[in-house]
Structure 1
């Protein structure tokens, strides 16, 4: 009997000990911020035709810019292979972007004139094949690739080689997608092109999103945003195409630039269309008149904040203290105040920072 009571007393001590050291949870609510955060793969970006330098990239980072639109003019190679020097330059640009902490949007084009010459299809495919190893080895610093290659500015509308048709556009797009790691998207100039290429007017569904298929990796860029009601022919059917992009762009990138200071290019339309079509990025350099109008009319700061994703922590329930080796449980609520979602895969990280000495600890997640 004595041993029985001794056992009960020992169990009681264990229970008492556990209750004394049981974790206490607290719920913390967080205030919002109006800061322009330099989150990756979103926001305003400059266009650049010259080779990148580290000082240039670092200067952009100091302005909270994390993405660069790098355009390559390759007209000198329309009748032959890309040179080793050129391929090394692309590699160098990607290396510099990595060192400086930026991501690149890539486009290759043979001409910037409506009457200029692009390249024959077999040459384009050869160039894509040459670029493939560079893209694959450096996809970590590629935001996405603009399809390019065909016609003036690489926008697919004009073509001296008759490539401005659905079959040839599909061939070029599929070649770029095949040459690019599955973790990255390729964007094309109009929603109509995507509908015709994939032979469906139905936008991506949640089940298709991020499944690695060509369609799930094909996004949009609009290089005449706000130029007119139909953005200079970007939309075949304005309402239907905008509805399509509203749904499709939940899972793929939408970027571009303004191109004409029209009566349509004002803050009211800019905010409405960027929200509806879920814009992630915009050229910060063009068109200067339209961009200045955003500042004058008072919407520029909101555009800077809301391009792409903007996760805001609402509240969190977590232990008020932790014992070494004990379980850590965290419940939290987020809201996305941005116009778009992240489109490139990322791991979830939980980071604990010591408030006294700023020592940082990372917790494993699945």
Structure 2
């Protein structure tokens, strides 16, 4: 009898151990989810507010931008230009109607072509010429306010300008190189341009002096619209000397400061003739653009530096990586849900570019029915937070209220915040994935079909 009880006890123990030991060795597939891996594209991708740009300046009451030329930029993967207005004829007077109409026409043509601009104003293009006094600058900005307010959606960034030759703030014939005068110009720019527009200063020191601080802003400030969160940097002698022709005073410290701030405010500019150092190699340029989070670079200056990169096969890589380059890596998506329930959007997005997205965007999960009807569901996803070399987990519960039962292809849309540009695919962000872009509607395919029962 004791032997029977012992044998029965051992049998129960064996069965119990067998049933509990499989948990660590087997993965039970969840057939309610689709696990998707996405392929990164190797192509140069045109996206708004980033990349190589062309630079076009115009003298007072000159010719407007050519629509034909703007339309041709898509062949170069260019989506952004520097538009520099020389107000040489108005150093002691108001801007004329002809001048104001020139600027209005330019904005109309930029919008029609699907291009944005980096904007700058200056009073001369020669170091021997005069600039304008502060009261004239402020009056001109007052005149410009209604125009830039109406067209803020096609302004990527604004270089502070106005002071000194080329608007580069180095010297002034009207005593505008004092901290007090520079601060007055910055404050006026911040007042005139809408809060969503970011201003760029020529050196990091200028920003530190204007705002009387030295520690870089963090995300608690950087994603807001306070004045200090709206000011970034442009460098018009990038990679040109040890201190980039006076751009830096304490090179190491100030580059580190820009690197931190550039998670929230833009950096960009142009190269110029190297002095005292060799022309920057591909490796040096890559290192600097990565550190300083460069988002745009002038194609028209300085040619010999750009040609070194072309001849050494890194130019195309820079085309891809200047600014942001967002890649959808993977997703786990429900196959079926019931009508009026919630859908769990769970995906991983990475940024393999040098910089983040700086201007806020509206993001949507888009469901496309078999008859082509689109249903857009707003997301909380802030695309600005996909920082370089960071995998961001996009995990949101999306209410499907108002969407009838049926089968739907799913898309991610990242559109311009402006209602005037929201439906323009040229202003939507294309993810750097293969075979996912719907260019007609500005949608990124998630390669998944959802059934709503």
**Equivalent residue for 1:244?**
257
Q: 2:320 aligns with which of 298, 302, 305?
A: 305
Give matches, 1:98-113, under 5 Å: 98-113=111-126
**Equivalent residue for 2:281?**
266
Between 1:194-203 and 1:320-329, the stretch displaced more is 320-329
**Structure-2-length-normalised TM-score:** 0.73
Alignment deviations for residues 304-343 of structure 1 (CA, whole Å, 9 cap, x no partner): 1111111111101113356665543220001111111111
**Equivalent residue for 2:211?**
198
The 2-side partners of 1:309 and 1:69 are apart by 19
Q: Decide whether aligned partners of structure 1 residues 348 and 165 sit closer, same or farther in structure 2, where only a CA change above 3 A counts.
A: same
**Equivalent residue for 1:31?**
39
The 1-side partners of 2:260 and 2:378 are apart by 33
**Equivalent residue for 2:297?**
282
The 2-side partners of 1:229 and 1:296 are apart by 24
Alignment deviations for residues 81-137 of structure 1 (CA, whole Å, 9 cap, x no partner): 011111111111111111111111110011111111100111111111111111111
* 8 Å contact kept, 1:255–1:279: yes
The 2-side partners of 1:325 and 1:243 are apart by 50
**Equivalent residue for 1:254?**
267
Q: Decide whether aligned partners of structure 1 residues 57 and 359 sit closer, same or farther in structure 2, where only a CA change above 3 A counts.
A: farther
Gap runs ≥5 in structure 2: 1-29, 59-63, 381-453
The 2-side partners of 1:46 and 1:90 are apart by 17
Alignment deviations for residues 160-180 of structure 1 (CA, whole Å, 9 cap, x no partner): 111112110110011011001
Alignment deviations for residues 272-312 of structure 1 (CA, whole Å, 9 cap, x no partner): 11000000000011111000001112221221111111111
Q: Decide whether aligned partners of structure 1 residues 190 and 210 sit closer, same or farther in structure 2, where only a CA change above 3 A counts.
A: same
Give the secondary-structure state (helix, strand or coil) at the position aligned to 1:87. helix
Give the secondary-structure state (helix, strand or coil) at the position aligned to 2:297. strand
CA shift at 1:53, angstroms?
A: 2.5
Give the secondary-structure state (helix, strand or coil) at the position aligned to 1:317. strand
The 1-side partners of 2:228 and 2:285 are apart by 27
**Structure-1-length-normalised TM-score:** 0.90
* 8 Å contact kept, 1:314–1:334: yes
**Equivalent residue for 1:314?**
329
Give matches, 1:1-366, under 5 Å: 24-50=32-58, 51-261=64-274, 262-321=277-336, 325=340, 327-353=342-368, 360-366=374-380
Gap runs ≥5 in structure 1: 1-21
The 1-side partners of 2:379 and 2:286 are apart by 36
CA shift at 1:344, angstroms?
A: 0.9
CA shift at 1:54, angstroms?
A: 2.0
Q: Decide whether aligned partners of structure 1 residues 357 and 30 sit closer, same or farther in structure 2, where only a CA change above 3 A counts.
A: farther
**Equivalent residue for 1:16?**
none
Larger radius of gyration: 2
The 1-side partners of 2:305 and 2:288 are apart by 15
Q: What is the count of residue pairs matched by the alignment?
A: 344
Alignment deviations for residues 42-63 of structure 1 (CA, whole Å, 9 cap, x no partner): 0011001252122221111232
The 2-side partners of 1:86 and 1:236 are apart by 38
* 8 Å contact kept, 2:45–2:77: yes
The 1-side partners of 2:189 and 2:377 are apart by 37
**Equivalent residue for 2:420?**
none
The 2-side partners of 1:102 and 1:129 are apart by 25
CA shift at 1:23, angstroms?
A: 8.5
* 8 Å contact kept, 2:279–2:305: no
Which ranges of 4 or more aligned residues in structure 1 deviate by more than 6 Å? Answer: 356-359
The 1-side partners of 2:68 and 2:371 are apart by 31
